[in-house]
Amino acid sequence: MFGVAGSTNLVEIANYLRGVSGSVPMLAWAAAGLIMVGFAFKAALVPFHWWSPDAYEGAPTTITAFMSTAPKAAAFAAFLRVFYVAFGDMSGSWTMILWWIAVVTMTFGNLLALRQNSVKRMLAFSSITHAGYLVVALLTFDQMGAAAMLFYLAMYAMMNIGAFLVAIAVNKDENEGKGYSFDDYKGLIWRKPWLALAMLVFMLALAGIPPTAGFFGKYYIFSAAVKSGFVGLAVIGVLNGAASVYYYLRLIVYMFLKERDELNESPSLNLSPSMIQVIALCVFLVLLVGLFPDLLLNFATQSVTVLL
């Protein structure tokens, strides 16, 4: 893009593209396409997602919690700013590409998450689905959609970090070599009630069930999509959200309705106070924003004016 516009400043790139007489040079299209691919890879959008499940599963779970939230948030914030500011006049051309990426990402992530027997891999593939929801917000190309994206990113970080921290706690409680199987969660409500209740909140939030923040995150995104004319995409998103309830509910069933394989009580947890505090904070924020969503939405709306 520097070779075409002579600058990496987003405003100057936009001014160059507006001032081009005739069609936009092919080199500019190629540059915009490569930038889109780079952001899609960073955000784990289909078909540039294959690195994420194995990377998430192979990394220490604390690192996985970070990888599934912070880089994704940074990628989408940069994606929004670059394509809104620099390539806004080209939006008619890349909108349809992102439309299909959103559909395939939401659907494919769900299909893969449905097959998992590892909680860690299930969360990894479900993060791909959530990335698809964020692309829906990106496509609206207005401040309402941008605010919905920032709202969702903030609460997704809380939901996902909390879920991974509970996974760390359960794995530590059982055996370090046992992995993150769904079977490890059998009867968790009888063994470690506070962990089971915390995971219940996170699973309901990730599934978008009220009164959690996840419900309002999806509501704001799909409302922005409908307002921008992407009714079909919003319907597909809602259907994918409904499908995701299955694998989140499956874990809840294991925790609350499945009997333990062993009658003996598992060893007492030896978690650091900081981990307990972070899990409690995540639960509190997910429920607080679920009850008072305007607290975060107003902040996200104000942030959009600074970001764009």
What is the DSSP annotation of 82-140? IIIIISGGGHHHHHHHHHHHHHHHHHHHHHHHHT--BHHHHHHHHHHHHHHHHHHHHHH
pLDDT higher than 50, residue 29: yes
pLDDT of amino acid 178: 52
Contact between 5 and 16 (Cβ < 8 Å):
yes
pLDDT higher than 80, residue 17: no
Residue 289 or 171, more confident: 289
Q: In the chain, where are the structural domains located?
A: 90-307
Each residue of 167-182: pLDDT tens digit?
A: 888 876 444 445 578 8
**The whole model's pTM is what?**
0.86
Gap between the Cα atoms of 55 and 244, Å rounded: 22
* Number of residues that this document lists for the chain: 308
